[in-house]
Amino acid sequence: MSAQRAHLSRRGFLGGSLLFVAGTAIGCTTSPTGGSSDAKTTLNIWSHAYGEAGTQQALTRYATEFTKANPDIAVKVTWVPGDYTAKLNASLLTDAAPDVFEHGDFTQGLARRGQVAALDAQYGSAKDDFNQGDRDLVTVDGKLYGVKMIDDVQMLYYRKSALAKAGITPPTTFDALVTAAKALTTKKSKGLFVGNDGVGETPALAVFSNRGELVADGEIAFASPQAVEAVTALKRLHDDKSLLLGFTTDWWDPSALVQGVVPMQWCGLWAMPAIKDALGDDFGIQPWPAFKAGGTPVLRVGGWTSCVNAKGKNVDAAKKFVQWLWIEQTDLQKDWSESYGLHVPPRKSVAATAGKLSKGTAKEAVELAAKYGRSNPNTWDSASGTPFGAAVAKIVAGQGDPATLLADAAKKAQAAVDKQLS
């Protein structure tokens, strides 16, 4: 599940007891596994509430297997619904912070604030088996501060039959996407779904598709001429009223596509099994199209990273857990990526043996991600992303000069990046 979806999970409290931090209900916890007299340490492992069925049970099973192999360490899994990032950040300021936690779109600030422990020793000889991009994401000043658990690939899905009926070929430029969305819009339906707010992931996609950057060498770059050009063009989709807004689920859930509400939807690889079950072979995928000639198609690559709380009381045991599960247990890594939705394993050797990724449209998605995949830089966080998103919302609504709005947002975002790097 994409990091951006952490506060939108469809799954609520699934049993267990509530955990409270500073008076705030966090989520439900399992009883510690392996609670024998041999367990000298109990680790608290935090996970956001994944949308895929069976994920909580799988994490609990992994914890149980770890304790069987390490009887001196018991593990409890805390399942955190709602705004996971906000709850995690609040918890990390307290003594009740988890020993191990997952983080979406890892940021340098975690390491520079001393919140996460370096894990170079835990990688050992397996280091080169992890995708370079995944290692780059968690690298700060030459050290590795997390282990990527899954790569979540996002792409544009479309109904083959709907486009064929309208005489439309899959769009390869932004102009073609605008034209297709407008042509596919009728009195009863819209042509494209990118999110209930009509924005979703499109601002970053627009920037990347015109060979722009969000951050480059520590400097905010989303106010560059090519970024302004591409972001400004997003308004055309709103002016044409071709975007589905305010649906019952957001872009990360494929319901709008599979129910025939829209013929094109931005969504993730995780949803492909459900889409295939509903539509058979009547769907295709493609990147967000290049903005224009000279631009580049884009697939967004997000995902989750396992981190060790450097300020916790059980750092060594926590490192042992992360090493055991996300570095050594390749069979469990493959299970995590293939059995609950569909994701790409960060380890190259594991991905190569993932049967569900080796054929058909899933294989195509992996190949496209290898060619056109983009991850947000690890200097990009909510503090820098919020002013950018606010500026884009005004731009698509026609509430100001795009260049001015993005320049003002860039100043605020730069302050956030400077703070993170200090």
Structural domain boundaries in the chain: 3-152+302-368, 154-300+377-421
Residue 32 confidence (pLDDT): 65
Q: Which two tokens stand for residue 236?
A: 């055309």
Q: Please check whether residue 203 is in contact with residue 387, taking contact to mean a CB–CB distance below 8 angstroms.
A: no
Nearest-Å Rg of the Cα atoms of the chain is: 21
**Does domain 154-300+377-421 sit in CATH 3.40.190.10?**
yes
Q: Please check whether residue 199 is in contact with residue 389, taking contact to mean a CB–CB distance below 8 angstroms.
A: yes
Over range 103-125, report the average pLDDT.
Answer: 95
- Return the sign of the alpha-carbon dihedral for residues 334, 338, 341, 344: positive
At 30, is the pLDDT very low, low, confident or very high (cuts 50, 70, 90)? Answer: low
Residue 124 confidence (pLDDT): 97
Give 247-262 pLDDT, tens digit per residue.
Answer: 999 999 999 999 999 9
- Hey, is 246 helix, strand or coil? coil
pTM for this entry: 0.89
**Does domain 3-152+302-368 sit in CATH 3.40.190.10?**
yes
- Return the sign of the alpha-carbon dihedral for residues 70, 76, 82, 87: negative
Domains 3-152+302-368 and 154-300+377-421 share a fold: yes
Residue 422 confidence (pLDDT): 83
- Would you give the DSSP letter of residue 36? S
Query: C-alpha distances in angstroms, 300 versus 6, 94, 203, 258, 397?
Result: 16, 33, 12, 21, 24
Residue 346 confidence (pLDDT): 96
